[in-house]
Amino acid sequence: MLLVFDIGNSRTKIGLFHRAQLLSVVSFDTMSTNYVSDCKEALRLLATQDKTAWKNLSGIAIASVVPSHTKKIEIVCKAQLKKKPLVISARLKTGLTISYAHPLKLGSDRLCNAVAAYHRYKQAVIVVDWGTATKFDVVDRKGAYLGGAIAPGLGASAQLLAERTAQLPRIQLEFPPTVIGKDTVQCLQSGILYGIIEMTRGMLSRIKKEIKQKPMVVATGGFSSLLSDHISNIDAVEPHLVLEGVTIIYKRNRHHH
């Protein structure tokens, strides 16, 4: 039994795994002012959902892109669960060869996405992670992590426009009835959503040309269910890829932990 944290910029997800199987997952707002108590509440929820699994917890692992929160979670885990978590980074055995200029600067979410996708499909993969940022990560067929790309994500784009303009409202991120918007809200929905889809489509074709291999394209991240149907060249949608990657890396390093 493994307890796994994915601390992203917008959401923190906690998953409970039995071997490679995700039993349950809860999430809460990373930006919350009561982050620690929200975390304790989420852990309580997981514990009540699966009492037997909770008693047999063998380890804890964290992938985080918010360093200040990593420390908070470590303290909570030590206090409440009497276990020291393994914090994921490129220092650990990942099963991939990391061809990145500064491996330790590679976000642990991107590392976990790449590890999980390659582990699952055993071929060249491109992972598209639609979250606060839109991230592309590329692994070749031999298991070398080649790098990728980072662009503003759906949430970031919508927020930026609402904050930086006098007259543009905050909007619901849903597809408008037509690409040509008939009012300001529809125009924003069209530009932001179809814009990110065209950007993703274009980036995928550029990346494919560059690696000269036929990769599998795997989508993940908070917006993957909203966007993936609109892009025909997405081969699979795996919403909890980061959590899966954390478990795989944990298993490869548990003897050193």
Q: Which residues are catalytic?
A: 109
DSSP string, the chain: -EEEEEE-SSEEEEEEEETTEEEEEEEEETT-TTHHHHHHHHHHHHHHH-HHHHHT--EEEEEES-HHHHHHHHHHHHHHH--PPEEP-TTS--SSEE--SSGGGS-HHHHHHHHHHHHHH-S-EEEEEESSEEEEEEE-TTSEEEEEEEEE-HHHHHHHHHHH-SSPPP------SSSS-SSHHHHHHIIIIIHHHHHHHHHHHHHHHHH-S--EEEEESTTHHHHGGG-TT--EE-TTHHHHHHHHHHHHHGGG-
Distance CA 72, CA 78 (A): 10
Q: What is the CA radius of gyration of the chain?
A: 19
